C-alpha cells in the first residue's frame, strides 16, 4: 500500500504548480505578519527565549550546573500547544484526527498540509508534535519501552566496535545536535538496532553473501541523528529508525550498499532529464554523482546543515516518499548551477553543498517531479529496496 501511495504521490506532485503558487502567497502573507510582530519591542528576545532541553536522561546532570536559578530564567515561548495558544491546521488535524471517517482522506489532507505549510518549530527546529507526525506518516506503531530496554540489556552487539568508531564524529560541528543528543544515546540506539538486525538474519552460512543486511554500515550514525534529535524519547527514535532502515531503505544497509549506488546513478539520470546542460558539463569534467553525492543519498541530506532545515525537508520526504531525496539532491545542484559553470574545477564546489534551504528545495523538487518520466520515477521508488 505504501508503494501505491508513492506512485500516487507522483501524480499529485506533478500537478502541484497551483499549490506551490498558493503556498508561496500564504507564506508571503505570514512573512508580513511576522514583520509586524517583529516591530514590537522585545519580540526578537522572546523568539530566542525558547530552547528545549535534552530528552535523554543521561544529559540531565551535565545541564544541571548550567541551569540558572528559577528567578533568573527567561520565560519559554510556546510553539503551538497549550491554553490560549492558537494551533496550526496541521497540528489540529494531527491531534484531533480527520473530520471524515475515511483514514485515506485524512492522510491525504495531512500530506497536503505538510506540503503547503511548514511544521511549527522554534529556532532550534524543535516541534512538540513533529515526531508524532513522522510516526503517522510512516505508519509506525507504538513500541513498548520494555522491548527497547531488553535490547539495551543484551550488552554489546557484534557491531559495537564499528558503532563506537563512528558515533563520536556524528554531526561533530553541529552545536544544536551536540547540546541535545549525547553520544551515549546514539550508541545505545545503534547497538539496539544492530541486535534487531542480527536476530533477523538467516541461519549462519559458511560464507555470507553480499545480499545480507549488515548490522551496521558507516553512515548509519548520521542517518540516525535526526530521529534522535526530533524524538521525545529514545524509544520513539528507535522505532522510527529501525522501521526506516528495514522497510524504506534496506538496500542502503546491505553489505554492498547497492541501494545507495543505484540512487547515485539515478541522480545522474534525473539530472540529465531536467538539466541536460549542467549534466553534460559535470560529466565532461568526470564528475558523476558517485564522487560527490554518496553522503547525501545515504543520509537523506542529513549530512548537510543546518539541522532544523533537515527536519523540514524530512517532513516532506516522509509525507510523499523518501525516494524524492534523489530529486532534492538534483534541486541542490540546480541551485548551485551558476557556481558550477563558473568554476573550472567543479569538484571543489561539490565537496560540500551550501546550507540547506528546505523551502526552496521542496518547491523546486515539486516542479522537477513533472519532468520525470513514469518509468524513471518507478525506479526511484524501488531503488532502495
pLDDT band at 210 (very low <50, low <70, confident <90, very high): very low
Strand ranges for the chain from DSSP E: none
Mean pLDDT lowest among 48-52, 141-145, 233-237, 266-270: 48-52
CB proximity list for 43: less than 8 A, separation 6 or greater: 37
In this structure, how many other beta carbons lie within 10 angstroms of the beta carbon of residue 239?
Answer: 22
Q: What's the rounded mean pLDDT across residues 69-84?
A: 44
56, 185 contact by CB (below 8 A): yes
Q: What is the Cα 96 distance to its own chain's centre? A: 25
pLDDT band at 95 (very low <50, low <70, confident <90, very high): confident
Q: Has residue 39 got a pLDDT over 60? A: no
Question: What confidence score (pLDDT) does residue 75 get?
Answer: 42
Domains and CATH numbers, the chain: 145-382 (1.10.472.80)
pLDDT tens digits, one per residue of 296-340: 999 999 999 999 999 999 999 999 999 999 999 999 999 999 999
Counting residues of the chain whose pLDDT is more than 90, the rounded percentage is 65
DSSP secondary structure of 7-76? HHHHHHHTT-HHHHHHHHHHHHHHHHHHHHHHTSTTHHHHHHH--PPPSSGGGHHHHHTTPPPGGGPPPP
pTM for this predicted structure: 0.79
Report the alpha-carbon angle 82-83-89, nearest 5: 65
**How many angstroms separate the CA atoms of 61 and 233, rounded?**
17
Question: What confidence score (pLDDT) does residue 47 get?
Answer: 37
Question: What confidence score (pLDDT) does residue 13 get?
Answer: 75
Amino acid at each position: 500500500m505504501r508503494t501505491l501511495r508513492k506512485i500516487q504521490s507522483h501524480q499529485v506532485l506533478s500537478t502541484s504548480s497551483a499549490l506551490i503558487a498558493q503556498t508561496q502567497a500564504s507564506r508571503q502573507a505570514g512573512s508580513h505578519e511576522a514583520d509586524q510582530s517583529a516591530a514590537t519591542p522585545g519580540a526578537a528576545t522572546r523568539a530566542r527565549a525558547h530552547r528545549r532541553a535534552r530528552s535523554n536522561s543521561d544529559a540531565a546532570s551535565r545541564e544541571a550546573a548550567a541551569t540558572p536559578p528559577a528567578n533568573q530564567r527567561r520565560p519559554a515561548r510556546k510553539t503551538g500547544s497549550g491554553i490560549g495558544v492558537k494551533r496550526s491546521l496541521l497540528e489540529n488535524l494531527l491531534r484531533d484526527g480527520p473530520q471524515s471517517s475515511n483514514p485515506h482522506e485524512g492522510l491525504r489532507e495531512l500530506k497536503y498540509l505538510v506540503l503547503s505549510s511548514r511544521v511549527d518549530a522554534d529556532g532550534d527546529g524543535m516541534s512538540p508534535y513533529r515526531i508524532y507526525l513522522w510516526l503517522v506518516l510512516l505508519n509506525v506503531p507504538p513500541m513498548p519501552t520494555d522491548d527497547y530496554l531488553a535490547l539495551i540489556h543484551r550488552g554489546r552487539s557484534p557491531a559495537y566496535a564499528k558503532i563506537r568508531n563512528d558515533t563520536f564524529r556524528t554531526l561533530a560541528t553541529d552545536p544544536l545536535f551536540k547540546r541535545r543528543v549525547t553520544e551515549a544515546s546514539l550508541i545505545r540506539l545503534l547497538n539496539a538496532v544492530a541486535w534487531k538486525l542480527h536476530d533477523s538474519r538467516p541461519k549462519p552460512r559458511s560464507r555470507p553473501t553480499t545480499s545480507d543486511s549488515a548490522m551496521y554500515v558507516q553512515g548509519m550514525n548520521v542517518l540516525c541523528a535526526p530521529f534522535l534529535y526530533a524524538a521525545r524519547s529514545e524509544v520513539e527514535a528507535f522505532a522510527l529508525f529501525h522501521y526506516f532502515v528495514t522497510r524504506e531503505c534496506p538496500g542502503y544497509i546491505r553489505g554492498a550498499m547497492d541501494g545507495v549506488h543505484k540512487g547515485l546513478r539515478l541522480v545522474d539520470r534525473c539530472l540529465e532529464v531536467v538539466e541536460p546542460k549542467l549534466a553534460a558539463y559535470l560529466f565532461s569534467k568526470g564528475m558523476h554523482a558517485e564522487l560527490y553525492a554518496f553522503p547525501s543519498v545515504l543520509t537523506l541530506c542529513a549530512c548537510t546543515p543546518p539541522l532544523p532545515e533537515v527536519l523540514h525537508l524530512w517532513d516532506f520526504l516522509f509525507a510523499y516518499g523518501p525516494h524524492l531525496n534523489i530529486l532534492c539532491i538534483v534541486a541542490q545542484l540546480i541551485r548551485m548551477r551558476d557556481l558550477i559553470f563558473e568554476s573550472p574545477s567543479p569538484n571543489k564546489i561539490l565537496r560540500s553543498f551550501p546550507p540547506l534551504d528546505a523551502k526552496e528545495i521542496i518547491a523546486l523538487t515539486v516542479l522537477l517531479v513533472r519532468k520525470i518520466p513514469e518509468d524513471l520515477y518507478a525506479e526511484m521508488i524501488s531503488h532502495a529496496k
